[in-house]
Amino acid sequence: MEAELDVFSGRPNPRWVIPAPESERIAAQLAALSQPADPPAMPGLGFRGFVLRSDRLTARLFGRRIVLSEPGRERVFHDTGALHADLAAEARRRGFASLLAAPPPDDRP
Amino acid sequence: MSLTVTLNVFSGRPNPTWTVPEGAAAELSERLSKLTSTLNLKPAGGVSTLGYRGFSVRSGDAQSATFIHGGAVDLGQFSPTLLAKDREIEKWLLSTAGSAVPDNVKAHVKSSLKAKLIDSLQTWHAPKATCPKCVAVDAPAYNPGAWNIPAVQPYNNCYNYANNRITNTFAQPGRATGHMYTQLNTCTGAGGVQLGAISDGLAACANFTAPLTVGQGFYVALVLWPGTDFHWYRQDKVGCWSHKPGSTPVTNLDNAGNPITDPRTANRGGYTTFCSYMITKASVHIN
């Protein structure tokens, strides 16, 4: 599983590999998502959350939402924030703290 | 690149899926590039409907799919929906099915394609703005449909878009000509992004008001997120400016959601340093 910190416009975004068993734990978390949500507002310049990629799906974490893209379908779920926090912590460990911004408040019904 | 097409039509049986061979992705891209209307809604459902529910299209080994139904082309959560008023995309996809779709099912889909567009679809209107006059004859048209597609969007950045060049290399200023930037603190200090762009063939200028005739190029602008990143804007034929933040979709709005009449005064988020207006033209080489 690959993680991407989506923040840049010109430069390629920072990316890192998430090895097993962590990748399997995250895959299980994504598979367990159950609370549908409205799509997040379209991001612009600056921090746009995280993107996770595996063989089976792509997950975008932004605006307290997780957008799961799989072959043939795309679904949006509420994000409790736990996975985003884990990814942010890893990004800080890798020296990307200055690139992060707090997710916007969840003001959607 | 091949396309995998799925016709969403059955309830109990697996939906028909077929592969359209090499060149199909290019043809789909070309057809999509001709669509200029966008929507703020997504296609109606793959759920709660029996019978024809549109097509899902996946390019090569891409993980995300494009959904087409009711004339609406959904390129993904972060892309505007394109509108194919004559259902031409769906008609073309059906024509590629061959024996993968039984004749009676084809007849059902053709009948469905005669129906009028979904009533709830609305045309998206950009916030009103008075665009400045564009005095560059070679300025490109604002056509996000050519960029916001799976085969292009992820692989081309702001520099690609500003120069109107799809290279699929996430182009970096100066890399094509052996002088890639090495620092992001200053625009024109040693190793600066602006110098990299000049190496590629762009030229700095004071403003975007001097007329540029055929062959003289069009106006772009470079900004910096100091010490961190660079970003580019371009002036389109309509006179207002547009940009492509990284691998995200092309947009003609700034970070506050307003039309961009001048990138120097637009809301640019963390890209606080305005380096320069510049001119790009056909002889520029980027990679």
Q: What confidence tens digit (pLDDT) does each residue in A66-88 have?
A: 999 887 788 899 988 889 999 99
Closest CA to A10 of B238, B18, B1, B229: B229
Tokens of B106: 């084809």
Task: Judge: A10–B172 Cβ closer than 8 Å, yes or no.
Answer: yes
Q: Interhelix angle for B24-33 vs B88-95, to 10°?
A: 170
CB A67 within 8 A of CB A60: yes
CA distances from A102 to A11, A25, A99, B164 (A): 22, 24, 10, 33
CB contact under 8 A, A69 and B248: no
What does the block give as tokens for A31? 């598979």
Q: Considering only the beta carbons, identify the residue of B46, B245, B253 that sits closest to A9.
A: B245
Q: If you average pLDDT over every residue of chain A, what do you get?
A: 87
Please report the number of interchain residue pairs, chain A to chain B, with beta-carbon separation below 8 angstroms. Answer: 100
CA–CA separation, A103 vs A38, rounded Å?
Answer: 16
Partners of B3 in the β-ladder: B20, B59
Look at B32-36, B170-174, B196-200 and tell me which has the smallest mean pLDDT: B32-36
| Contact state of B56 with A7 under an 8 Å Cβ cutoff | no
CA-closest candidate to residue B82, choices B91, B70, B73: B73
**Quick check: B230 and A11 CB within 8 A?**
yes
DSSP B174: T
Test B158 with A57 for CB contact under 8 angstroms.
no
Can you tell me the distance from the alpha carbon of B83 to that of B32, in angstroms, rounded to the nearest whole number? 9
Nearest-neighbour CA in chain A from B225: distance (Å): 9
Name the closest residue on chain B to residue A12, using Cα atoms.
B170
Can you give the pLDDT at residue B242? Answer: 97
Model confidence at A103, pLDDT cuts 50, 70, 90, reads: very low
pLDDT tens per residue across span B121-167: 444 445 567 999 999 999 999 999 999 988 999 999 999 999 999 99
- Write out the two tokens for B198: 């000049």
CB contact under 8 A, A46 and B231: no
d(CA B200, CA B23) in angstroms, rounded, equals 31
Alpha helices per DSSP H over A1-109 = 22-31, 82-93
Q: Give B74's pLDDT tier (boundaries 50, 70, 90).
A: confident
A71–B247 CB contact, under 8 Å = no
State the average pLDDT for chain B. 86
Which three-class secondary structure state does DSSP give residue A63? coil
As a whole number of angstroms, the distance between CA A49 and CA A7 comes to 7
- The pLDDT value recorded for residue B46 is 42
CA atoms within 13 A on the CB side of B7: 30
User: CA B68, CA B51: separation in Å to the nearest integer?
Assistant: 15
Mean pLDDT computed over B70-81: 70
Least confident residue range of A19-33, B6-20, B85-99: B6-20
ipTM summary value:
0.85
Rounded to 5°, the CA angle B30-B35-B41 comes to: 130
Positive or negative: CA dihedral B263, B264, B267, B268: positive
The predicted-structure confidence for B15-54, as pLDDT tens digits, reads as follows 788 888 777 777 887 888 777 776 666 665 444 445 677 8
* Range list of β-strands (E), A6-105: 15-17, 50-53, 58-62, 65-70, 73-78
| Chain B residue whose CA is closest to A8 | B246
Position B76 scores a pLDDT of 62
DSSP 8-state secondary structure symbol assigned to residue B257: S
B248 touches chain A (CB under 8 A): yes
Q: Are B171 and B181 in contact (CB under 8 A)?
A: no
If one counts every other C-beta atom within 10 angstroms of the C-beta of residue A101, the result is 14
Residue B253 pLDDT > 90: yes
Chain A positions in Cβ-Cβ contact with residue B258 (cut-off 8 Å): none
Q: CA B30, CA B16: separation in Å to the nearest integer?
A: 25
Instruction: Calculate mean pLDDT across residues B176-195.
Output: 97
Cβ within 8 Å, pair B77-A98 = no
Residue A108 has pLDDT above 50, yes or no: no
Q: Which one, of A73, A84, A95, A19, lies nearest residue A48 by Cα?
A: A84
Q: What angle do CA B160, B206, B182 make, to 5 degrees?
A: 45
What pTM, to 2 d.p., does this model score? 0.68
- Number of Cβ within a 10 Å radius of residue B281: 16
Instruction: Look at residues A55, A60, A106, A101 and name the one whose alpha carbon lies nearest to residue A83.
Output: A60
Tell me the mean pLDDT in the region B166-191: 97
Contact B203/B279 with Cβ under 8 angstroms? yes
What number is the average pLDDT over the span B220-228? 96
Q: Which range among A49-58, B51-60, B84-93, B181-190 has the greatest average pLDDT?
A: B181-190
Beta-bridge partners for B267: none
pLDDT of residue B64: 54
Chain A residues with beta carbon closer than 8 angstroms to that of B172:
10-11
* pLDDT tops 60 at residue A92: yes
Distance of CA A23 to the CA centre of its chain: 13
- For the segment B176-186, the average pLDDT, to the nearest whole number, is 97
d(CA B86, CA B84): 6
**Closest partner residue to A67 among B56, B77, B255, by Cβ?**
B77
Q: How many angstroms separate the CA atoms of A48 and A26, rounded?
A: 20
